[in-house]
Structure 1
Amino acid sequence: MRDPVERLYMDHHSWVYQWLKKRLSNNEDAADLAQDTFVRILRRKEHYYFDQPRALLTTIAKGLLINWYQRQAIEQAYLEALSAQPERYDDITPEQRLQAIEALCLINRILNEMPERQRQTFIWSQLEGLTQQDIAQRQGVSTRTVMRDLVSAMTLCLSIMDDDS
């Protein structure tokens, strides 16, 4: 008897690939995301019981597709920002460019997981350099609340960075 994941792959890989191909302009990207869909299933810690395999595969593939589009948008914004800069960025290697894009994707993921007030607090503190008191005044909350939001934001950052490495 075949492994349930192997059977799922054999029965549904071409369907997932076609589903993704309709949504992407590049066959190679569709093939990569189809593979990643099954890799996600292999990484699952739950028992392999696939009552509705196409629903499961569609859910996973949609998540991967959303991540792919977000990454494309971040990469495009990064490249546009680089092209608007002086020539000192001309010597960036492809590896450095990839590392920068991966870092931006991780930052985007972290910020998207934060509640709105926490995200705004984190951005004002870390990017704009506002004090906790200034942030508290802008948000109409106590400095203790701002401190709690910053601690939660930093904890989330560390947690996601640990998970990512």
Structure 2
Amino acid sequence: MQRMYSGHHGWLLQWLQRKLGNRGDAADLVQDTYIRVATGRSMPNPEQARPYLVQIAKHLMIDLHRRRKLEAAYLEALAALPEAHAPSHEDTLIVQQTLAAIDAALEGLPPKVRETFFMSQFDGMTYSAIAASLGIAVATVRKHMLTATRACFLAMQQCGEPVCAC
């Protein structure tokens, strides 16, 4: 791990900075990439280190863009509300904290589970399409969705948000 970090950290940071156009986001994603490597089940061969790091970093960039898209949609929806119907600053803060808790819960899930959830909820894909895209069974997609949904509900409960029992 130390050899991979020292041998590829600078390169990965530059690669991400070119892709994102932002050194701060790039540095965060480099750190997240190495955390994924450290907590992963296997370590790539030295000659496969860069493709392995790029694959993880690409998934993290997708997650980052989806989070930012969700935040932008929320802020846009708030801006479109008439002032009389706009939520209070306290309510806005509660929503932001809840979204952060859900984001953290999803971040703690295995990559395939998280990707399944995102494909369903943000990309609007059917379970069959997700199964075909990820090369897994529809039953596995259902299982992943149940895992992700439970994680979201748990995060909401921990924030004190009422959770529908439907």
Bucket of the pairwise TM-score, normalised by the shorter protein:
0.5 to 0.7
- Displacement of 1:93: 5.3
Q: SS in structure 2 opposite 1:45?
A: coil
Change (3 A) 1:109 1:83: farther
Unaligned runs of 5+ residues in structure 2 are 107-113, 129-137, 155-166
Of the candidates 4, 7, 10, which is equivalent to residue 3 of structure 2? 7
Cα distance in structure 2, aligned partners of 1:98 and 1:26:
25
- Aligned positions, number: 132
Aligned match of 1:158: 146
Q: SS in structure 2 opposite 1:52?
A: helix
Structure exhibiting the larger radius of gyration computed from Cα positions: 1
> Is the contact made by 1:13 and 1:34 (CA closer than 8 Å) also made in structure 2?
yes
- Structure 1 range deviating more: 24-33 or 42-51: 42-51
Deviations 1:93-146 (A, max 9, x none): 546414225547959962515894449xxxxxxxxxxxxxxxxxxxxxxxxxxx
Unaligned runs of 5+ residues in structure 1 are 120-148
Cα RMSD for the two superposed structures: 3.6
Change (3 A) 1:108 1:35: closer
Deviations 1:27-50 (A, max 9, x none): 111100011111111111125533
Cα distance in structure 2, aligned partners of 1:47 and 1:153:
26
Q: Which amino acid aligns with 1:71?
A: R
What's the TM-score, normalizing by structure 1? 0.62
Deviations 1:65-105 (A, max 9, x none): 11111111111001111222323333335464142255479
Aligned match of 1:126: none
Cα distance in structure 1, aligned partners of 2:117 and 2:103:
10
**Residue 88 (structure 2) pairs with residue 89 (structure 1):** yes
Q: SS in structure 1 opposite 2:41?
A: coil
> Is the contact made by 1:82 and 1:89 (CA closer than 8 Å) also made in structure 2?
no
Change (3 A) 1:152 1:57: closer
What's the TM-score, normalizing by structure 2? 0.62
Aligned match of 1:56: 52
